[in-house]
Amino acid sequence: MTKILFALKLLFKSPGYLLLSLTIAFLLFVVYFVVNDLALYRSAASISGRLIFLWEVLTNHVSTVWSAAGAYNVLAVGLVSFLSGINLSLTILRVKRTGVFIGRASLPGFLGTLGGAFAASCSACSTALISLLGISGSLAIFPFGGLEISLLAIILLLVSLYYISKSFAEFGILPV
Amino acid sequence: MSKTRFDVERYQPLYTPIAILLGGLAVAVAIFVTGGLNGSSNVAGETDLPTDSGEPQIVEVSVDDDPVFGSADAPVTMIEFSDFECPFCKSFFEETLSEIKEAYIDTGKVKLVYRDLPLDFHDPAATNDAIAANCAREQGGDEVYFMYHDEIFARTRGNGEGLESGVDLEIAQELNLDAGKFESCLSSDSAKEEVARDLAEAESLAGLIGGIGTPTFFIGKSSESGTIKGWHIAGAQPFTSFQQVIDDLLSD
């Protein structure tokens, strides 16, 4: 835990990396919602490709999921996005500081980031990304509406965060 | 001189994140400058045009003999495939339909045709809701159908949990329907066949538009033929999406 806190302190000490983390988190949040309802965005883009219109579709999508599927669904996707942003920024920072990329430490984070894509909900029934895995009924069939997948993704991202922070200590960047 | 060197070193840790952010910003600007993901498009007048994905956004859809909300003479027809147990259909009903009603249905510009698409993972509740609404229509016509429709969305627990036991009959009685006839209709084949017919058409449309969920809409110019060339709108989209398609069809 101390290692993670040290790593986060190191990351957020630099405004550039803080901004990078937040930007990645925001982009992932958008991507998670878009890939979960490609039919909706394809349909919307065929009506108008203006970014302001697509932004309105996205905000409507998020608020629809918030009210129809539950606020926890949106908040969990937000947390997965935020943790993914931190993980990716820390990986970049570590490569920058050490010149070494350790795939093993980042793998759980990568899986968590990927898994998070299946946790978001769509604004229509039966068209979510998870349907592609042959799961009829999408997130509706899960007792907690897909929160299970978010929790798994969060655990993977926390594990990754621990390993990345540990490697900072191993390289002598942070106290062991 | 030494001050300049000091600044370079001071800001050196920011170079990597800033470079990454600038790269992302450049991509965003490029998308914005080129007019968005798909360029601006005008829906009216286009027929069977493939989208980027190769799937047509305009398809021929039957209005069947399904309930109609609004003026029969409305120049634009909007067909909704919906599931009473789907929370996103409920969201559309609660948030967007009232705006469409006020702007287009009440003014005689658009009529809404409601077609059933009870999803299997919401059954048996979804099919039961659909049958009950059709039984209300059998006695009271389209007007009563939509009153029953409103009550289902208001009272269902959603996600396949359906109406509480006896509530379907309770709604029928509140709408002054004959309870005996209503109950016998619930177990009749005619109402079930009506729902099954809608479901079969939705499945055939799914093949044309690359899958179908609920709610799904097709909006096109009204015709005498009983079908429309309908612009496909997927999911519970904001009012603006419907507004753009409808306004385009009305101005054409």
Mutation site for A-interface testing, chosen from B37, B116, B208, B216 by largest number of A Cβ within 10 Å: B37
**What is the DSSP code string of A57-110?**
HHHHHHHHHHHHT-HHHHHHHHHHHHHHHHHHHHHHHHHHHHS---HHHHHHHH
Q: Please state the rounded mean pLDDT for residues B146-157.
A: 94
pTM of the model: 0.77
pLDDT at residue B227 is higher than 50: yes
Q: Any chain A CB within 8 A of the CB of B244?
A: yes
Question: What is the rounded average pLDDT of the residues B22-36?
Answer: 56
Whether residue B238 and residue A60 make contact (CB cut-off 8 A), yes or no, is: yes
| Start-to-end CA span in chain B (Å) | 68
Model ipTM? 0.74
Q: Is B53 an interface residue toward A (CB < 8 Å)?
A: yes
Distance CA A69, CA B178 (A): 36
Split at pLDDT 50, 70, 90, the class of B125 is very high
- Of residues A70 and B132, the one with the higher pLDDT is B132
Contacts of residue A19 in chain B, CB cutoff 8 Å? Answer: 17, 21
Residue-wise pLDDT for B158-209, tens only, equals 888 888 888 999 999 999 999 999 999 998 888 889 899 998 888 888 877 7
Chain A, 25-84: which have a CB under 8 Å from a chain B CB?
Answer: 27, 37, 39-40, 42-51, 53-54, 56-57, 60-61, 64, 67-69
pLDDT of A150 reads: 78
**CB distance A54–B37 less than 8 Å?**
yes
Asked if B13 and A12 count as a contact pair (C-beta separation under 8 A), the reply is: no
User: Does B51 contact A46 at a Cβ distance shorter than 8 Å?
Assistant: yes
Answer yes or no: is pLDDT of A102 > 70.
no
Domains of chain A by residue range: 2-170
Phi, psi of B228 (to 5 degrees): -130, 155
Q: How far is B102 from chain A (nearest CA, A)?
A: 20
* Residues of B (210-229) whose Cβ lies below 8 Å from A: 210-216
Please name the member of A56, A125, A141 whose beta carbon is closest to the beta carbon of B238.
A56
H helix count then E strand count, chain A: 7, 0
Give the model's pLDDT for residue A167. 75
B231 vs B106: CA distance, rounded Å: 21
**Cβ separation A64–B236 shorter than 8 A:** yes
Whether residue A92 and residue B86 make contact (CB cut-off 8 A), yes or no, is no
> Is the pLDDT assigned to residue B141 strictly greater than 70?
yes
Give the Cβ contact number of residue B144 at 10 Å.
Answer: 19
pLDDT in tens, A112-134: 676 666 665 554 565 555 555 55
Neighbours of B206 (CB within 10 A): 16
- Is the pLDDT score of B119 beyond 50? yes
| A23, A27, A49 ranked by CB distance to B35: nearest | A49
The predicted pLDDT at position B52 comes to 43
Give the one of A16, A42, A136 whose C-beta lies nearest to B120's C-beta.
Answer: A136
Q: Which has more confidence, A162 or A100?
A: A162
Cβ A74 vs Cβ A147: under 8 Å: no
Among the partner-chain residues B14, B213, B231, the one whose CB lies closest to the CB of A39 is B213
Residue A20 phi/psi, 5-degree rounding, is: -60, -45
When pLDDT is cut at 50, 70 and 90, the band that residue A142 belongs to is low
Residue B128 is predicted with a pLDDT of 93
